[in-house]
Structure 1
Amino acid sequence: MLKSQDIRIRDPFILPIAESQTYYLYGTTDVNPWNGTAVGFDVYKSKDLENWEGPFPVFRPDEDFWADQNFWAPEVHVYKEKYYMFASFKADDKCRGTQILVADGPQGPFQPLTNEPVTPRDWECLDGTLFIDEQERPWMVFCHEWVQVKDGKMCAIQLSDDLKTAVSEPVVFFQASGASWSSFTGDGNCITDGPFLYRNQQEELLILWSSFGEKGYAIGTARSHSGEITGPWVHDEEALFDTDGGHGMLFHSFSGQLMLTIHAPNNSPMERPVFFKIKEVDGNLILQD
């Protein structure tokens, strides 16, 4: 068994499966996720978020897979009785994009749903996440990356019911510099990372996302004033977590406790999955010690 502090992982994502009372932990697991040939994605399993089994391989690319580097930030969502992985990939001659993979179970093996990403092919994109709106329409929320636009954008596209194609033009929610807690880096970039959608107890639609603040990598929230995915989105003034950790997501434990997981610290190879209890107070998310 491994403890959380034994697992090196970036961009952690938890899928709780109630039937087996098992938490599945996905994330960026390559030894060198920045450079060189990518290997794939692994998963860890736990009953209590403290003791973990694994790693177990869930995706290894076939020889004809289009990407060979920067395998980042896999998320797994249950949709229409299948398990869909949203993950970022890149190749030297192709823009980074989010591709969707599918499997019959949480441990895969995951196979590409189509032969290319769903995000725009001439955009550098990453960190796609699935959102189902109140009309049961699937959307992908993703980042138009700072490497191409300098001031990173948060965007969404509506997907076909089978998740194979985009059926709308991209909608821009906001740019990174619009949040008071987000800062430009020394080379003039402002970063959007790691979106995750959550509807709070007051039925407000929130988005968690990451950027860099005064103390390093951070995570904040914005709210849709319409309650719809298309916004308009207004940022909360203060970051939810601002001390060198981020790329977070929310889930409920099997006891009903709302939880946040992030990776911290943000420097490789020290990043680890970190878990916080979250309390909702008047629609606000409050980290518990």
Structure 2
Amino acid sequence: MKTNRDVQIRDPYVVPVAEEGRYYLFGSTDANIWGKGTGFDVYVGTDLEHWEGPYPVFRPEPGFFSDENYWAPEVYEYRGRYYMFATFRRRDNRLLGTAVLVSDRLTGPFRLYSDGPVTPADWSCLDGTLHVDEAGQPWMVFCHEWTQVFDGEICAVRLTEDLKEAIGEPQLLFRASEAPWTTRLDSKSSDAGDVYVTDGAFLHRTEDGTLLMLWASFVRNRYALGVARSASGSVTGPWVHDEAPLFEQDGGHGMLFRAFDGRLMLTIHTPNRTPHERPIFIPVTDRGGKLRLA
């Protein structure tokens, strides 16, 4: 049995299963996530503090399109199966992309479902997240990485109903520098342009119907988590940013879920340094479409 301080993980993502009384904790679990990819593991627990595992849920099969940088798996129940959206670095062009995997069980094994990444082949993209709008149309919201565009972007693209491929061209939702709280990443800025980072988008519909987006960037070179809201209530926005980040103590890439006691919970990884990153869980209040750390 492990506790949170024993679990090295980035980009934590929790799937609560009320019928079992168990939480399934996914994330970037390779000891060195910046190098060769091993796969993804899951931890299973009942109290958000103690965890059994890790249990392997994905290991690449021969011929898999990537062998490096296995990042940010998110798992959704959709039409009776479990779909994992995860980031990989392609072998063919060395660019990052988000692919879709599938399994009949939360504990896997997950196998490649899409034909490689569903993000554009000539873009470096990461952190795809699934959003199903009120009309039942699935979308993927993802980051167009700063390594290509300097001012990192968050984009959205429609998906086929089976989640297997994208429909049409991605739509730009916003750039990192548009938020009032972000600052440039000094260590990466150059004569070619100032770097602003976008990471880890996650969409959440509040109790009053407001569509919010959590996303990560940097404040004075420290990882931070911000919130934007859709003025139209739809994924295409326009998106209006909160003035200040929700969390700025060197942690981010967050998501929200309901604990079994009914509390709305935020999980992020902190600190943003390998191999020291750990999951933390923070109660959050949702009042009038605004999130506050409890």
Question: Shorter chain as normaliser: what TM range?
Answer: over 0.9
What is the distance in 2 between the residues matched to 1:168 and 1:208?
Answer: 25
SS of corresponding position for 2:105: coil
Q: TM-score, normalised by structure 1?
A: 0.98
One-letter amino acid of the structure 2 residue matched with residue 85 of structure 1: M
Q: Which residue of 1 aligns with 2:208?
A: 202
Q: Distance in 2 between matches of 1:276 and 1:96?
A: 30
3-state SS of the aligned residue for 1:168? strand
Match of 2:78 in 1: 79
Q: CA offset at residue 215 of structure 1?
A: 6.2
Report the AA paired with residue 16 of structure 1.
P
Distance 2:11 2:218 in 1: 15
- The whole-number CA distance in structure 1 between the counterparts of 2:89 and 2:106 is 24
Which residue type is aligned with residue 261 of structure 2?
S
Q: How many residues align?
A: 287
- TM-score of the pair, normalised by structure 2: 0.96
Corresponding position of 1:241: 247
Q: 5+ residue gaps in structure 1?
A: none
Deviation above 2 Å: which 4+ runs of structure 1? Answer: 91-94
Q: Is the 8 A contact 2:185 2:221 kept in 1?
A: no
Letter in 1 for 2:58: F
The RMSD of aligned alpha carbons is 0.9
Partner of 1:120: 120
How does 1:111-260 map onto structure 2 within 5 Å?
Answer: 111-186=111-186, 187=189, 188-214=194-220, 216-260=222-266
Q: Could you say what secondary structure the match of 1:285 adopts?
A: strand
C-alpha distance in structure 2 between counterparts of 1:123 and 1:115, whole Å: 16
* Separation of aligned partners in 2, 1:91 and 1:116: 9
How far apart in 1 are the matches of 2:221 and 2:23?
Answer: 31
- Over residues 152-191 of structure 1, what are the superposed CA-to-partner deviations in whole Å (9 max), with x where a residue is unaligned? 0000100000011111210111000001111111112100
Identity score, percent = 54
Amino acid at match of 1:132: V
Residue 58 of structure 1 is matched in structure 2 by: 57
1:51-73 per-residue CA deviation (whole Å, 9 max, x = no partner) reads 10000000000111010100000
Equivalence map 1:89-104=2 (5 Å): 89-94=88-93, 95-104=95-104
Separation (CA, whole Å) in 1 of partners of 2:91 and 2:65 = 10
Helix, strand or coil: the match of 1:185? Answer: coil
Instruction: Output the CA distance in 1 between the equivalents of 2:168 and 2:20.
Output: 37
For the Cα contact (< 8 Å) 1:215–1:242, is it kept in 2? no
- Counterpart in 1 of 2:38? 39
For the 8 Å contact 2:114–2:164, the answer to whether it is kept is yes
Structure 1 residue 92, shift from structure 2 partner? 4.6
Q: Is the 8 A contact 1:245 1:265 kept in 2?
A: yes
Match of 2:253, SS state, is strand
Pair 1:264-2:264 in alignment: no
| Unpaired stretches in structure 2, ≥5 consecutive residues | none
On the 8 A contact 1:215/1:243 being kept in 2, the answer is: no
Could you tell me which amino acid in structure 1 is paired with residue 230 of structure 2?
A: S
How far does the alpha carbon of each residue in 1:99-123 deviate from its partner, in whole angstroms, 9 at most, with x for none? 0000001000000002311000000
